[in-house]
């Protein structure tokens, strides 16, 4: 499989991931106000073990290509890159919610200050990518063996750590997947290449995995709630970790198989621009839900599906409009002033939506 094709399946996997992420928020957003559960709740329930781990694992796949760079270049591409978009979108959200709508200037200032040390809202994922990149670079700098870092990270993931610092809690929960994507990237590529070369056994393998995943998530019992769920056997920490890794690899394999089908370019494009969707889906998500409910659409399944589609399409449309008119590109592209001086990007702005590089 050539490099270009490998990038295609990576983008497709990111496309699946961003759909699942927006699906979760859409289902929970609707469930909060209808007090009910719908079909998307069950899909999200199935994907719970691997939904975010897969996104982080993919984000670490290409880290080996840049981790040996000097600190200035590395920090510009793998740390500042994410913190810039986090800062822009968190500022917009807090200013609009607290400063404009709430007329609470002191609260707005406190919110902006707190967002520096505590990942804010749905953008915690962007914040943590910067933190994970720093941690991986430090591990490389101190020549820590992969087995040691992965062992410690896996232990942190399996121990139920929930502290007041949201950054620490999320670091413990997800760093192992980001580092695994970095450390095991050659193995992941070999697995995906082998599966793509043998599609029939690969499909059968995915079916077996899906059956096992369904059983372990929903049995012996699970509790599905409008904004949460309690899993079955998969809640057992070591098993949850194993299912997260297996699910992440399964999504990568499934993405490679989907890229063999016609008319799947949209999924690859969506994955290539997944950061665009992640940054901007929350406002249209809530707006569509509010308008739809005022118009009398209260069926949880139908409403959550409508919100999901709208929340994905709205950022895409906004991005395309901005690309056409040229105004507002700072929302999705990092301008030259937002680069560390002396790095290549400080002379020319770089494109934003490539979390896996």
Q: Is the pLDDT of residue 12 over 70?
A: yes
Answer whether 244's CB lies under 8 Å from 53's CB.
yes
Residue 242 falls inside a structural domain: yes
What distance separates the 2 farthest-apart alpha carbons in the chain?
Answer: 60
Residue 74 falls inside a structural domain: yes
**What is the residue range of 154's domain?**
3-351
Q: What is the pLDDT of residue 4?
A: 52
Q: What is the pLDDT of residue 350?
A: 45
In this prediction, residue 311 has a pLDDT band, given cuts at 50, 70 and 90, of very high
Residue 122 falls inside a structural domain: yes
- Measured from the Cβ of residue 206, the count of other Cβ atoms closer than 10 Å reads 16
The predicted model gives 26-41 an average pLDDT of 97
Q: Is the pLDDT of residue 5 over 90?
A: no
Neighbour-count burial of 327, counting CB atoms closer than 10 A to its CB (0-12 exposed, 13-18 middle, 19+ buried): exposed
Residue 357 falls inside a structural domain: no
Residue 356 falls inside a structural domain: no
Q: What is the pLDDT of residue 347?
A: 61
Answer whether 217's CB lies under 8 Å from 229's CB.
no
Residue 201 falls inside a structural domain: yes
In this prediction, residue 209 has a pLDDT band, given cuts at 50, 70 and 90, of very high
Q: Is the pLDDT of residue 353 over 90?
A: no
Q: What is the pLDDT of residues 220-272, one digit of tens each?
A: 888 899 999 989 999 999 999 999 999 999 999 999 999 999 999 999 999 99
pTM score: 0.93
Q: Is the pLDDT of residue 43 over 60?
A: yes
Per-residue tokens: 340: 């560390």
In this prediction, residue 357 has a pLDDT band, given cuts at 50, 70 and 90, of very low
Q: What is the 3-state secondary structure (H, E, C) of 266-313?
A: HHHHHHHCHHHHHHHCHHHHHHHHHHHHHCCCCCHHHHHHHHHHHHHH
d(CA 183, CA 177): 10
Answer whether 7's CB lies under 8 Å from 271's CB.
no
Residue 126 falls inside a structural domain: yes
In this prediction, residue 7 has a pLDDT band, given cuts at 50, 70 and 90, of confident
Per-residue tokens: 78: 């793998």
Total of domains in the chain: 1
Residue 283 falls inside a structural domain: yes
Task: Reply yes or no: is the peptide bond before residue 16 cis, omega within 30 of 0.
Answer: no
Average pLDDT, the chain: 93
- Measured from the Cβ of residue 133, the count of other Cβ atoms closer than 10 Å reads 26
Q: Is the pLDDT of residue 346 over 80?
A: no
In this prediction, residue 2 has a pLDDT band, given cuts at 50, 70 and 90, of very low
Q: What is the pLDDT of residues 288-307, one digit of tens each?
A: 999 999 999 999 999 999 99
% of the chain exceeding 70 in pLDDT:
95
């Amino acid at each position: 499989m050539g490099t270009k094709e490998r990038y295609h399946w990576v983008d497709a996997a990111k496309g699946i991931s961003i759909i699942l992420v927006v699906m979760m928020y859409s289902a929970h957003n609707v469930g909060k106000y209808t007090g009910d559960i719908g079909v998307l709740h069950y899909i999200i329930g199935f994907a719970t073990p691997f939904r975010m781990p897969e996104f982080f694992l993919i984000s670490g796949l290409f880290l080996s290509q840049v981790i040996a760079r000097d600190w200035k270049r590395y920090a510009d591409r793998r740390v500042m890159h994410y913190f810039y978009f986090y800062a822009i979108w968190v500022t917009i959200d807090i200013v609009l919610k607290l400063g404009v709508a709430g007329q609470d200037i002191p609260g707005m200032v406190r919110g902006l200050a707190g967002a520096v040390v505590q990942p804010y809202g749905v953008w915690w994922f962007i914040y943590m990518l910067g933190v994970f990149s720093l941690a991986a670079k430090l591990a490389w700098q101190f020549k820590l063996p992969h087995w040691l870092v992965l062992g410690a990270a896996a232990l942190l993931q399996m121990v139920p750590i929930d502290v007041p610092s949201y950054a620490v809690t999320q670091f413990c929960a997800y760093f192992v997947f980001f580092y695994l994507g970095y450390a095991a990237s050659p193995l992941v590529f070999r697995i995906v290449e082998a599966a793509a070369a043998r599609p029939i056994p690969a499909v059968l393998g995915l079916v077996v995995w899906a059956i096992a995943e369904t059983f372990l998530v929903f049995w012996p019992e699970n509790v599905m709630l409008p904004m949460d769920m309690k899993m079955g056997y998969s809640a057992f920490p070591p098993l949850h970790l194993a299912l997260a890794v297996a699910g992440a690899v399964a999504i990568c394999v499934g993405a490679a198989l989907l890229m063999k089908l016609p008319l799947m370019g949209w999924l690859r494009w969506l994955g290539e621009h997944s950061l665009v969707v992640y940054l901007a889906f929350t406002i249209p998500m809530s707006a569509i839900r509010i308008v739809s409910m005022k118009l009398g659409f209260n069926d949880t399944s139908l409403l959550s599906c409508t919100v999901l589609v709208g929340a994905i399409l709205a950022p895409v449309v906004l991005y395309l409009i901005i690309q056409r008119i040229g105004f507002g590109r700072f929302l999705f592209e990092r301008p030259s002033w937002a680069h560390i001086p002396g790095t290549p990007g400080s002379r020319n702005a770089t494109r934003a939506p490539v979390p896996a590089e």
